[in-house]
Amino acid sequence: MNIINIGTYPPKQCGIATFSMDLRNSLFAADNAVSIMALSDDSFNYHYPEEVSFNLQQNLKQDYIKAAAYINGSSQIELVVLQHEYGIFGGIDGEYVLELTKLLHKPFVLITHTVLPRPTKRQKQILNELCHRAAGIVCMTQRSKQLLVNLYEAPPELVRVIAHGVPDFPKKSSQDLKRQYGFQGRRLISTFGLIGPGKGLELGIRAVANVVVDYPDVTYLILGQTHPMLQRYEGEKYRQMLNNLVTELDLQAHVIFVNKYLTNEELGDYLYMTDIYISPYPNMDQAVSGTLAFAVGCGRAIVSTDYAYANEVLRGGRGLLAEKPDPKNLSALLCQILSNRELSENLQAQAYKLGQTWTWGSIGKEYTDFFRQIVQETNHQEEKQLNYAKL
């Protein structure tokens, strides 16, 4: 198939950009031709790789009309893949994306990254319209599917649940990695991702403050740089707040910030040397977390707040969920794992078992099968209409 993906794309640093690249690579590996329509903001001058065939300026309404004309004018493009997150498109709640989809003459698949259980009226209207124009809809959890069908009135026959893909990280020895990175003799708790408010890192730090009283060999690694957009508008205000909290709690010997954008190789190393991965999101409506998916992919023992994605993914012994998003509950679960090696190994085994079904090689095949079905159905409908017109 010949596919074009609309979404943010590296070198822009955000979760959807990484997802777009990983999806493109997995589709390409399955013998599909995939080009990219990259969404760019005004803040940065991105130097895109050759697969980017169209640079769509996020805040220019006219660009969405040009984008539709570009796609419609291509005789090669068979299918459009639209990554949807309200914040990556221009206009109120990303409404400019509707300018593009209402003009498209090609079928598009909507991949939903945020499915809000309590949307504003406009947010609901936008996703409702997208769902009714789409030829297919992808979400990443059963809960999101229920919301799409029951709240956003998406046609249920169009909705497919496909898990968030993860890189195929080569498995490595935790002890060897700890020696390589200078953490021998330490038990490591980690969190990774672009840093900003909403990630709950202050909860993680306060939880670790409770843990080190009984487990002084614990180190908490906060992996990742500040989100580039946040850094542009607020500088390092949030990170400085976290640093101040570390000092206030006298945790300088127990909390380390690795302030850089990690490559997949580095990320795999840090995850495989991690004894416990903590996902302390305070927003219980969080529909998807690529970082949590990566931790599952590496088979880590995981402690998380009970947000929507974690609740669905970590059931059945794949992780421990805090009753409340507070340091006391999180620290109790961390200590439970630190004191029980058998529990830790069981959590790792169960997470790894699931994670191995989420590698992009497998997920790419699921997407390819779904996309092929849609293209075939579209071609069949066009043939029927053509034959009807001849009568």
- 203 and 338 inside one domain: yes
pTM of the model: 0.91
Tell me: do 150 and 8 sit in the same domain.
Answer: yes
Return the pLDDT at 229. Answer: 79
Domain harbouring 214, CATH code: 3.40.50.2000
* Judgement on whether residues 135 and 189 belong to the same structural domain of the protein: no
Report how far residue 207's alpha carbon sits from residue 330's, in angstroms, rounded to the nearest whole number. 6
Count up the domains in the chain and report the number: 2
Query: First and final CA of the chain: distance in angstroms?
Result: 31
- Shared domain check, 227 and 160: no
Within 10 Å of residue 345's Cβ, how many Cβ atoms?
Answer: 11
How high is the pLDDT of residue 293?
96
Do residue 215 and residue 301 come from a single domain? yes
pLDDT value, residue 390: 63
> In this structure, are 94 and 178 located in the same domain?
no
Confidence check: pLDDT of 27 > 70 = yes
What is the DSSP pairing of strand 2-7 with strand 320-321?
unpaired
pLDDT-derived band of residue 230, with 50, 70 and 90 as boundaries?
Answer: confident
Using one digit for the tens of pLDDT, what is the confidence trace for 119-145?
Answer: 999 999 999 999 999 999 999 999 999
Residue appearing with tokens 């990556």: 88
The pLDDT of residue 234: 87
Average predicted confidence (pLDDT) for the chain: 95
Kindly state the average pLDDT of the residues 352-357.
Answer: 95
CA distances, 85 to each of 1, 7, 59, 217, 288 (Å): 25, 9, 15, 40, 11
Assess contact for 280 and 200: CB atoms under 8 A. yes
Residues 156 and 228 in one domain: no
Which residues partner with 191 through β-bridges? 222
Range of the domain at 285: 174-355
